[in-house]
Amino acid sequence: MSFIRMIFGWWHHATFGTLVTIWFSGTYVGTDKFGNRYYQSKKGSRRWVTYAGTVEASRVPPDWHGWLHHTYADPPTKVPFKEMSWEKEHEPNLTGTADAHRPDGSLSKSGVRPPATGDYQAWKPE
């Protein structure tokens, strides 16, 4: 069952084709704090990630994202990413989870909109 899931369930983990590519032409580069593993081809021209858990691109931190897209020549394991004091901690996309943002008035929160503040004027046709 797990081999079939590996072939057809690409959203759960690396596919069989990805693992074969890693074995024959991939070089391990590093791991981020989420457990995602990063590789590059032996020539260094191609870079990719195998996700720890659900395959979701928003789970890649900014420093590794820059390296994957060839913005940075060296991976964050060699040259650490300079973090600014005003930056927030990286969070993956939480849409569809219990931690997703639900503004006041949304159906998934309470469904009741807060009262208007008086700065809105409804359009009326003439």
Q: Read off the pTM.
A: 0.64
Q: What residues pair up with 35 in beta bridges, in sequence order?
A: none
**Would 35 be classed as within a structural domain?**
yes
Where residue 79 falls (left for φ over 0; alpha for ψ -120 to 50; beta otherwise) is: beta
**Would 81 be classed as within a structural domain?**
no
**Would 116 be classed as within a structural domain?**
no
**Would 64 be classed as within a structural domain?**
yes
Q: Count of domains in the chain?
A: 1
**Would 118 be classed as within a structural domain?**
no
pLDDT tens-digit map of 78-109: 888 777 888 888 777 888 888 888 887 777 77
Compute φ and ψ for 123, nearest 5 degrees: -75, 135
**Would 124 be classed as within a structural domain?**
no
pLDDT at position 64, please?
92
6: containing domain = 2-68
pLDDT tens-digit map of 23-75: 778 889 999 988 999 999 888 888 988 888 778 888 888 889 999 999 988 89
pLDDT at position 38, please?
93
